[in-house]
Amino acid sequence: MLLAIDCGNTNTVFAIWDGDTFLATWRTSTEWQRTADQYYVWLTTLMRLQNVDVSIDAVIISSTVPRVVFNLRVLADRYFNCRPLVVGKPDCALPVPPRVDIGTQVGPDRLVNTAGAYHRHGGNLIVVDFGTATTFDVVETDGAYVGGVIAPGVNLSLEALHNAAAALPHVDITKPQSVVGTNTVACMQSGVFWGYIGLVREICARIKAERGSDMSVIATGGLAALFQQTETLFDAFEDDLTMHGLTVIHRHNKEIA
């Protein structure tokens, strides 16, 4: 049984893959200080609660936070007796290598999203991932990651306003009733919500124009649904895209081993 771990700058998601389906998915906040023992207690408690009675014999990790990888490696080694595949490391092969400037360390989450989206949709795609940052990944017709865009995340944008301006409160994102806000919170929500709709639409349109091609736009990350319910920005929304990509990369490495 495969344990797939997707560690973002805000949250870390664990999922158990039986080769066919995900038996369970669990989320915890990302904290680099968390030890292998702590992960193991947390994970086995949840497995027991949900009657997931399986033995894990393989682990794959994608982490945008380099420091957490050490303890996740220890988790795999000490408790599951295996050497984990770590996306972005030389011993983890990708189905199609990225084509970017020499020396660029592409975020592993973007390489994983590329693999997952190409497996499901074929090439010529834009993958939009709403995480701590919002990333746009351009997937070539042959499945290669060839670059993209990094924009400040939705919650990061709201937090930045709160942190920088004494009179602006902490606000959660939601779809505002109108564009013109009649109170401070509504004004902030309007700025980020409608600003983001514009950001996504403009960036996708410019990528398509620059490449002279009508590409499919695939969205992932919890917040994508909020934007899609207002405007048709995406051709598909897939919450499990990153996890799916991890299973694709794991299978690829098994096949070439």
Ligand X SMILES: Nc1ncnc2c1ncn2[C@@H]1O[C@H](COP(=O)(O)OP(=O)(O)O)[C@@H](O)[C@H]1O
Residue 106 binds which entry of ligand X, ligand PAZ, K ion, none, with Cβ cut-offs from 5 to 8 Å by kind?
A: ligand PAZ
Residue 11 binds which entry of ligand PAZ, K ion, ligand X, none, with Cβ cut-offs from 5 to 8 Å by kind?
A: ligand X
**Which of 8, 108, 123, 176 touches ligand X (CB under 6 A)?**
8
Rounded Cα gap, residues 147 and 9, in angstroms: 20
Within a 10 A sphere around the Cβ of 82, how many other Cβ atoms? 14
Residue 86: name the closest of 96, 94, 97, 98 by CA. Answer: 94
Query: How many residues form the binding site for ligand PAZ (CB under 6 A)?
Result: 13
Residue 184 assigned ligand-binding role:
yes
The DSSP H or E segment spanning 35 is none
Determine if 116 is a binding residue for ligand PAZ (CB under 6 A).
no
Residue 163 assigned ligand-binding role:
no
Determine if 245 is a binding residue for ligand PAZ (CB under 6 A).
no
Q: Which is nearer to ligand X, 31 or 142 (CB)?
A: 31
Rounded Cα gap, residues 90 and 87, in angstroms: 8
**Which of 129, 137, 140, 238 touches K ion (CB under 5 A)?**
129
Q: Which is nearer to K ion, 56 or 69 (CB)?
A: 69
Residue 7: name the closest of 67, 50, 76, 83 by CA. Answer: 67
Known active-site residue 109: yes
Q: Which is nearer to ligand PAZ, 124 or 135 (CB)?
A: 135
CB of 57 to ligand PAZ, least distance (A): 27
Question: What's the 3-state SS for 70-135?
Answer: HHHHHHHHHHHCCCCEECCCCCCCCCCCCCCCCCCCCCHHHHHHHHHHHHHHCCCEEEEEECCEEE
Determine if 28 is a binding residue for ligand X (CB under 6 A).
no
Dihedral of CA atoms 46, 49, 54, 56 in degrees, nearest 10, equals: 10
Determine if 135 is a binding residue for ligand PAZ (CB under 6 A).
yes
Do 113 and 242 touch, CB atoms closer than 8 A? yes
Determine if 12 is a binding residue for ligand PAZ (CB under 6 A).
no
Q: Which residue, chain included where needed, has tokens 């369970």?
A: 24
Question: Active-site residue among 37, 109, 172, 239?
Answer: 109
CB of 117 to ligand PAZ, least distance (A): 15
Rounded Cα gap, residues 191 and 180, in angstroms: 9
Determine if 131 is a binding residue for ligand X (CB under 6 A).
yes
> How many angstroms separate the Cα of 212 from the Cα of each of 116, 117, 198, 204, 231?
24, 20, 21, 12, 23
Segment interacting with K ion (CB under 5 A) among 27-35, 53-61, 125-133, 198-206: 125-133
The phi and psi torsions of 5 (rounded to 5 degrees) equal -125, 125
Determine if 221 is a binding residue for ligand X (CB under 6 A).
yes
Q: Catalytic residues, which ones?
A: 109
Known binding-site residues for ATP equal: 6-13, 132
Which residues form the interface with ligand X (CB under 6 A)? Answer: 8-11, 131-132, 153, 155, 221-223
